[in-house]
Amino acid sequence: MKTTVVGSYPKPKWLLRMIRLYNEGKIDDKVMNEAYEDAVRAVVKDHELAGIDIIWDGEMRRDEMTSYFARKIDGFVIYGEVRVWGNVYYPKPAIIDELRYKEPLAVHEFEFLRNITDKEIKVPITGAYTIVDWSFNEFYKSKGEAVYALAEVINQELRNLVKAGANYIQLDEPAIPTHPEELEIAKNAVEIMVKGVNVYIGMHICYGDYSKIFPDILDFKVDQLDFEFANRNFEDLKLLKEYDFDKDLGFGCIDVHTRRVESVEEVKRAIEMALEVVDPARLYIDPDCGLKLLPRDVAFKKLKVMAKAKNMVEYELGLT
């Protein structure tokens, strides 16, 4: 049984200020990079203090989960922002040419983090299906072709991550449940992405109707499936029981959409429910999703509660 994070963490306010200055051309790359590194150090300290077992860098350098990667891959351009809903917009990439590897997507993040902590590390990266689903396609004849081409690019990055020493990689694929009819494409894409990548692979899927992807999702070539459970009051655990869930479980048990900090007792009860589905050794306890939209003190408190609940369950089971 281990605690981990999905990926993002609130950016310190001073970092947001630095990013604004950088975008206005008032500070240079060197200073900006130093700021990112200092922010990562702060996040790592928060994670360590909270007692998280497997950490990430809080995605301090990433502004958004599609365009951040698209900018680093040949074949994408970004014309501007489009709406997701209400006042929420994102820079939607467009594929205008063959997709090709250009520069590291996450290796640089991993290498820096490896140097400043002894903790276990998980590297999250947005999956090929989701990036293509959230982009315009002007170049490839079909969505499948575009997804597979991008999967090859990501495969190269995953291989580089392994060379750099990463041993736990998480593919973020929140778009998968939105088109259940394209599960086959997403599944093939995973196989391309992890080809020759012999480390522990997780897949994170949030915000969807999971009933539409079961049981097919169990055939995906990943070691772990990570879902949000707190957001829907843990009802989806039923699905796992119904279909003989046989992967490791990433168990989202902290609601990231509310500022209310869960009690240790309720998280403990949630973990006990998860243990009805998987053995302790196959359970990875984390929040439902990235924590970036919460105030930093709330995010920290939530992680702390989560770690404490896990320690109590372990103690009661005699696992420590």
Partner 1 sequence: MMATVVGSYPRPKWFREYLKRIEGLQKDLDADMGKEILKKVIAEVIERQRKAGIDLMTDGQLIWHDFLATLATRIEGFVMDGLIRYFDNNLYYRKPIIRGKLRRKGEILWDFRLALEIERNLKPVLSCFTLAKLSKNEYYSNFEELLWDLGEIMKEEIKGLNVEFVQFDEPALLFASKDEIEVARDVFREICKVNAKAILMTYFSSAEGIFPEVLDFGFDIVGLDFVEGFEINIKLAREYGLKRINVGIVDARNTKMEDLKDLKAKLERILEFAKDVHISPNAGLEFLPEVKAFEKMRLVSKLKEEFG
Closest CB to partner 1 among residues 79, 315? 79
User: Of 10-18, 38-46, 79-87, 246-254, which segment contacts partner 1 by CB under 8 A?
Assistant: 79-87
Q: Is 98 in the site for partner 1 (CB under 8 A)?
A: no
Residues 6+ apart with CB under 8 A from 281: 1
Q: How far is the CB of 179 from partner 1 (least distance, A)?
A: 8
Residues 109-138 that bind partner 1 (CB under 8 A): 133-134, 136-138
- Total of residues contacting partner 1 (CB under 8 A): 21
Q: Is 81 in the site for partner 1 (CB under 8 A)?
A: yes
How far is CA 83 from its chain centroid?
22
* Rounded CA separation 285/303 (Å): 10
Q: How far is the CB of 199 from partner 1 (least distance, A)?
A: 31
Closest CB to partner 1 among residues 80, 318? 80
Interface residue with partner 1, options 16, 49, 84, 319 (CB under 8 A): 84
DSSP 42-69: HHHHHHHHHT-SEE--BTTT-S-TTHHH
Residues 133-192 that bind partner 1 (CB under 8 A): 133-134, 136-138, 175, 178-179
**CB-based burial of residue 80 (10 Å sphere; 0-12 exposed, 13-18 middle, 19+ buried)?**
exposed
* Rounded CA separation 187/200 (Å): 17
Q: Which residue has the tokens 């820079």?
A: 91
Q: Is 87 in the site for partner 1 (CB under 8 A)?
A: yes
Q: What are phi and psi of 309, to 5 degrees?
A: -60, -45
* Residues found near partner 1 in the complex (CB under 8 A): 79-89, 92, 94, 133-134, 136-138, 175, 178-179
